[in-house]
Amino acid sequence: MGGVENGVTLERPRVLIVGGGFGGLYAARAFRHSAARVTVVDRENHHLFQPLLYQAATATLAPTDITAPIRWLLRRQENTEVLMAEVERIDVARRVAVADGGALTIPYDYLILAAGARHSYFGHPDWETAAPGLKSIEDAIRIRQRVLLAFERAEKAARDDERRRLLTFIIVGGGPTGVEMAGMLPTIARDTLSGDFRRIDTRRARVVLVEGGPRLLAAYPDDLSEAARRSLEALGVEVRLDTRVTHVARGVVEAGGERLEAATIIWAAGNEASPLGASLGVPLDRVGRVIVNADLSIPGHPEVFVVGDQAAMTSRGKPVPGVAPAAIQSGPVAAANVKRLIAGKPTRPFRYLDKGDLATIGRYKAVARFGRLHVSGALAWWLWLFIHIMYLAGFRNRASVLVEWGYAFFTYQRGSRLIATRDRPGAAAHGV
């Protein structure tokens, strides 16, 4: 523990941050001028800008455009070290994080847990092989591979029914990720790839978006959900609402009593928090998020804080959504509370500032809500572009992001259309 007691300088307090995503990274940055010794642990070596994952999954941006090494992002912060390790559990009694199969034990005085969430398959983990979800950069690369391979295979398919199956893409889940993926697939099929193939007409690709609820973008106001549906249908996407998926197997989705065949199935339906929260021994909500106190600490352990997607947070009595701004805001609040505890001061509650919601639909269309203001169409898309460049610029060079995006969006050229696998017959076993 740090500080000065009876004229004796004690060791500087150790702060452990698990996760280098939005919550963890912004928490770490808040310790820049503090006396604490900070350790950031992440199982990946990179910070990932998740809101643009679908752009990488549809070969619009390269994986390197939306990632940056965590070590590099924190290189100027001398009191901070970065470890690449997989944390398996937290031992709150001993105040240690156990990582790498028990080979690594990291002690802490204060802990900020920000390990995020992953997609969930409603109790059917076996569906994952047939329908990968989109959460990590590996997921995006895997989906990009499947999408591009489907077109390649269709070009050499001998039969019409096989070609049709290869050119059918099913997306399960009509939240922001599903809507954005569904909007981008016809866009690449029509604009990006058309003209590159000789035997198939890529514009005939069929995209089906399956949603169990009565509308798309359930967290958005009704008019924007409706605008999103209309925009997707204008792009040729078949939107199936009130259609629950009952079974997924390789190349097949059973939904609403119908059997749909597609070479590419993408899962964008459910989320569950990192299992690390369970090791804290405190109450979790239905999707495994740690139910935190108003100051983001956990019951019975004022030295442990949980932020971002891993936390069930409330602000002024209302639940806080699992979005990037919530993680970006909660990380620094937890850090500030740690600093207040070190200084012997009381902690403060988290107050979430709702900045609105934004989702794109293909190229040049989006829906946005800023407080009571609802915007859809091209204006919303330009707002989306501006906001994302501003955020990305937080860890990349603003000019280079602008140039790369400008090139990708306006010329329809794709520098990221790499298929890094051999087109071997066995690859069919992986879904295409």
Ligand X SMILES: Cc1cc2nc3c(=O)[nH]c(=O)nc-3n(C[C@H](O)[C@H](O)[C@H](O)COP(=O)(O)OP(=O)(O)OC[C@H]3O[C@@H](n4cnc5c(N)ncnc54)[C@H](O)[C@@H]3O)c2cc1C
Q: Return the active site residues.
A: 180
50 near ligand X (CB under 6 A): yes
Among 39, 67, 177, 347, binds ligand X (CB under 6 A): 177
92 near ligand X (CB under 6 A): no
Q: Using the minimum distance from each CB to ligand X, give the nearer residue, 18 or 342.
A: 18
Sequence-distant (≥ 6) Cβ neighbours of residue 289 within 8 angstroms: 117, 273, 277, 309, 310, 311, 312
Which of helix, strand or coil describes residue 304?
strand
Q: Site mask, ligand X, residues 248-267, x = CB under 6 A?
A: --------------------
Among residues 212, 214, 188, the alpha carbon closest in space to that of 202 is found at 188
Interface region with ligand X, contact rule CB under 6 A, candidates 21-29, 281-289, 370-378, 396-404: 21-29
Q: With contacts defined by CB under 6 A, how many residues of the chain interact with ligand X? A: 34
Interface region with ligand X, contact rule CB under 6 A, candidates 15-23, 141-149, 218-226, 423-431: 15-23
Give the nearest distance from C-beta 89 to ligand X in angstroms. 9
Footprint (CB under 6 A) of ligand X, residues 111-170: 114-116, 134-135
DSSP 284: B
Among 28, 30, 31, 51, binds ligand X (CB under 6 A): 51
Cβ atoms of 388 and 397 within 8 Å: the answer is no
DSSP 192: I
Among 2, 322, 332, 431, binds ligand X (CB under 6 A): 322
CA–centroid distance for 222 within its chain: 24
Among 12, 29, 32, 43, binds ligand X (CB under 6 A): 43
89 near ligand X (CB under 6 A): no
19 near ligand X (CB under 6 A): yes
Q: How far is CA 229 from CA 3, 175, 240, 250, in A?
A: 57, 11, 10, 27
65 near ligand X (CB under 6 A): no
Extract the tokens encoding 69: 């090494």
Distance (Å, rounded) from C-alpha 180 to C-alpha 224? 14
Among 22, 31, 121, 127, binds ligand X (CB under 6 A): 22
Give the nearest distance from C-beta 327 to ligand X in angstroms. 3
Distance (Å, rounded) from C-alpha 2 to C-alpha 37? 10
87 near ligand X (CB under 6 A): yes
Q: Using the minimum distance from each CB to ligand X, give the nearer residue, 60 or 274.
A: 274
324 near ligand X (CB under 6 A): yes
Cβ atoms of 408 and 415 within 8 Å: the answer is yes
Q: Using the minimum distance from each CB to ligand X, give the nearer residue, 174 or 308.
A: 308
Q: Using CB atoms within 10 A of its CB, is residue 319 exposed (0-12), middle (13-18) or buried (19+)?
A: exposed
Footprint (CB under 6 A) of ligand X, residues 182-201: none
- Give the number of C-alpha atoms closer than 13 A to the C-alpha of residue 299, restricted to the C-beta side: 7
Give the nearest distance from C-beta 343 to ligand X in angstroms. 26
Footprint (CB under 6 A) of ligand X, residues 299-318: 308-310
Among 137, 171, 276, 367, binds ligand X (CB under 6 A): 276
- Report helix angle 222-234 to 176-187, nearest 10: 20
Give the nearest distance from C-beta 58 to ligand X in angstroms. 11
Q: How far is CA 328 from CA 185, 322, 352, 417, in A?
A: 29, 11, 10, 31
Give the nearest distance from C-beta 204 to ligand X in angstroms. 27
Among residues 258, 166, 255, the alpha carbon closest in space to that of 205 is found at 166
Among 167, 327, 333, 392, binds ligand X (CB under 6 A): 327
Give the nearest distance from C-beta 127 to ligand X in angstroms. 17
Interface region with ligand X, contact rule CB under 6 A, candidates 48-56, 122-130, 202-210, 338-346: 48-56
Q: How far is CA 136 from CA 4, 66, 141, in A?
A: 43, 11, 9
274 near ligand X (CB under 6 A): yes
Sequence-distant (≥ 6) Cβ neighbours of residue 75 within 8 angstroms: none
Annotate 236-262 with b (16+ C-beta within 10 A) or e (fewer): ebebbbebebeebeebebebeeeebeb
Give the nearest distance from C-beta 152 to ligand X in angstroms. 25
Residues making contact with ligand X (CB under 6 A): 18-24, 41-44, 50-51, 53-54, 86-87, 114-116, 134-135, 176-177, 274, 276, 308-310, 322-325, 327
